[in-house]
Structure 1
Amino acid sequence: MGDKANCNCHTGNAVYGLGLIGAAIYFISQATSFIMGVLGFVKALFWPAFLVYEAFSYFAV
């Protein structure tokens, strides 16, 4: 077994990275000023938190 049992699969990082890029493109393209663009990039960094918050609100958890 040895090395095969220690699989370092980083697919979650790839999904987060693609989500970050997509969210950054979306939020920055919607920005009407430089400050809103910066805020859009910050939102893109924390998109999973927004997603979980909205899901919990929707399901009334």
Structure 2
Amino acid sequence: MEDKKKNKSNQGVSGGIYGLGWIGALVYYISHAAGFWGGVLGFLKSLVWPAFLVYELLKHLGA
């Protein structure tokens, strides 16, 4: 029972960090949008920003 409480508190911290990253990605992509549809695309990109991050990291490492 005690282990379940401990794991839930760790999930809150990682969720908060992910949320801040999502807000940052949203601001970045929308601020670089040229028009309405660019803003829509920016919103969609902000939802999957970790995938872009991992892809660029693996490309940089040569994997």
TM class by shorter chain equals: 0.7 to 0.9
CA RMSD in angstroms, aligned pairs only? 1.0
1:24 paired residue number: 26
> Does the residue aligned with 1:32 lie in a helix, a strand or coil?
coil
C-alpha separation in 2, matches of 1:31 and 1:55: 24
Structure 2 counterpart of 1:54, one-letter code: E
Superposition map of 1:1-16 within 5 A: 2-3=1-2, 5-6=3-4, 7=6, 8=8, 9-10=10-11, 11-16=13-18
Report % sequence identity: 46
Structure 1's unaligned 5+ residue stretches are none
Structure 2's unaligned 5+ residue stretches are none
Richer in helix (by share): 2
Superposition TM-score, scaled by structure 1 size: 0.88
Aligned residue pairs total: 59
Question: Where in structure 1 do 4 or more consecutive aligned residues deviate above 6 Å?
Answer: none
C-alpha separation in 2, matches of 1:42 and 1:15: 19
